[in-house]
Structure formats: structure tokens, C-alpha cells
Amino acid sequence: MEPTGATKGQTNRSATDDMIPLTSPLMSWDEFLLINSYITPFTIFLCAIGVSSNMVNILVFYKMGFSSSSNISLFCLAIADACTVAAAFLIACWDTFDDDHLPMSLQDVALTISTVYYFFSFMGSWITTVINVERSCCIVFPIKVKLIFTRRNIFFFILGMFIYQIAASLPRCFAIGLSTTTSPLTNRTVVIFDLMKYNAGMYFVSMLVSFSIPGLICFVVVLVGTIFLISNFKQSRQLRKSMSGSEGISDRMSVKDARLVRSIIFICVIFIAGSTPNVILYVVQTFYPTLNISDPYLGNLTYLFYIVSTTFQAAASSVNIFVYFGMGSKFKQTFKQIFFCQSK
């Protein structure tokens, strides 16, 4: 399982110039370049939108304050999404530059930065899972949920996941092997990422505990939770209305809760759509390990799969702002206060 970000789709051109594959690749390098020439500009466009929209989200949620656990979660999700699309943007942009005159391969730089990309991507997965579980518990345990999902508990859970992802991702960085070689184009010594020198065992374990297992767990939990939210949404509204002593208060609370739950359902559906390509890759690579970037036959095709999954993730991390605008009037009012200098 080797997520590598939106790099150019080959095993590593600079690291394999002197290696002669035993078989011709299923997808040639020229074929890959042709397909990637259409995907990369679209990915860059999505990432540019994502960075801008998530910066807006961060400012608005910060201005709204952290009086509720939902605001804390959505604020942290905006930060994770902003960092995710920023890393994807750098990877995609660097991948388009000519690095023949540089002392290192930009593809290898992109490969290294992909660790940052996947780190924040899975932080977003954890936070989305927290949001989904919290709202599901509001249906199952409507009275106890405020005691469980306090602002303090949410903060420390997200902090714990942040520390866990760092600890689980670091071995991947130490497993990477570097070497020097002479560029056949410039005859200069360059630093490259050497697939033959990296610690495969450490790399695999790090990928497993930091990306594959958390990604699959978050995906399954969010998928099940979203189905549960959709199926129980109407029932929960009727139950709360019957338990309320004042029908007017019940109606107002129902409208507020309905907007929040609908928004969370949309956020989770977006997350599921953006994560599906990655999850499919995890499952396929578990049962078919040959599908990896170092395989001479499937390497280019594997890179293409990861580029497509990065594009899906960039799209999913860029559109939440439209959901927030439909979540309620407070987000809109705060947005207008910040960017149009309107008073309350």
C-alpha cells in the first residue's frame, strides 16, 4: 500500500534510468503523460479553489467562536482540508516543472511531500468520523450526548489523533532511501529517491498503521453512520417533538437540528465520494500486492490510480463551503461581517 500523491506516474524516472525492466509496462510512460496532461491542470484548479474556500471557512469558524463542539470539529476540519489541498497543489505544480537543471528530482520531492498530504488527508478523515459519530449519538443518546462530546473531549480526541498520525507517519520518512547519480542529460550529480535502498518492512508497517487501517476504519464508520443518519432523521425529529413540553420550541429546535444534520450528511457524503478511490486501492493492494509503484509492469498504472484518487480528494476537500452556507444563517452572517464589513 503505497500512496504517493499526484506525481507524474512512473516508478521514479531519475531513480530508474539505469534499470532495465524485465517486461514492458502495461501503461507506457508516454501514455501516462498524455492522460496526466489532462488530469493535472484540473487538479491544480480544484486545489486553488480548495485553498481559498478553506481559508474562508477557517476565518468564519474562528470568528463564530468555539462555544459548541460542532464548531471546534468544523474549524479543525477546515484546517485539515486546507493543508490537504495545499500539499496536493504543491505536488501537482512541482510535477509540471522541468527539473533537469536542479540537483534533485522534483518527482522525488513530490513523493516526500505526499507524506504531508496523506497526513492531513487522514486527519480530515478522523475529524469527519468524529462529526458523524457525534451526530449519530444525538439520535441514539439524545440526553447523554452533551456529556460525552464536550468541547474538552473533542479537543483532546483531535489532538490525540494528531499525535498518533505523526508517530505513525514518521517511520515512513526514515524508511526512504536516498542516493546520488549522474544525470544523463546534464552530466551533473543529483540526489534521487532510491527504491532499491528503502526499508520495505518499515515502510509497509508505517503505511499500514498511519494510512491504510485508519482510512478504512474511518470510511466504514462514516458510511454506516451516514446511512444511519439518513434512515433515522425523520424518526428523531418526531421523537424530539413529542418529548418537548412546548410545541413552538420544538419546531424551532427541529428546524435548527434539521439544518445541522442535513449539512453533516452532505459533508459525510462528500467525504465518502472523495475517499472511495483510495479505499478501493487499499483493498485491491491488500489482496494483490503487485499493484504498487515499484512494479515494472503496473507501476505507471498505479501512479495514475493515485493521481485520480488525489483529484477526488482535492474535490472533496474544496466544496464544504457550499454546505456551510446552507447550514444556517449564522455562517452567512459571519461571512458578511468579515468580508463585507456588515454589522450584526
d(CA 181, CA 15): 8
Mean per-residue pLDDT pooled into runs of 10, the chain (344 residues) = 41 44 77 89 94 96 90 95 93 72 69 83 94 87 83 93 90 72 70 66 79 89 92 69 55 64 90 92 81 81 90 93 84 89 67
pLDDT of 261: 82
Answer yes or no: are the C-beta atoms of 168 and 202 closer than 8 Å: no
pLDDT of 238: 67
- In angstroms, the Cα distances linking 127 to 2, 79, 107 are 23, 11, 30
Output b/e per residue, 77-98; b: 16+ Cβ within 10 A: bbbbbbbbbbbbbbbbbbbeee
CA R_g for the chain: 23
pLDDT of 73: 94
Q: Cell for 176?
A: 526512504
* Total residue length of the chain: 344
d(CA 65, CA 272): 28
Domains, the chain, ranges and CATH? 37-339 (1.20.1070.10)
Cβ atoms within 10 Å, residue 242: 9
Read out DSSP for 273-329?
HHHHHHHHHHHHHHH-TT-STT-TTTHHHHHHHHHHHHHHHHHHTTSHHHHHHTT-H
Q: Which amino acid is at 143?
A: I
pLDDT of 202: 75
Contacts of 276 (CB under 8 A, 6+ apart): 219, 312
Contacts of 189 (CB under 8 A, 6+ apart): 103, 180, 181, 182, 183
pLDDT of 21: 47
pLDDT of 343: 64
d(CA 79, CA 62): 11
Contacts of 241 (CB under 8 A, 6+ apart): 247, 250, 251, 254
Give residue for cell 533537469: 100
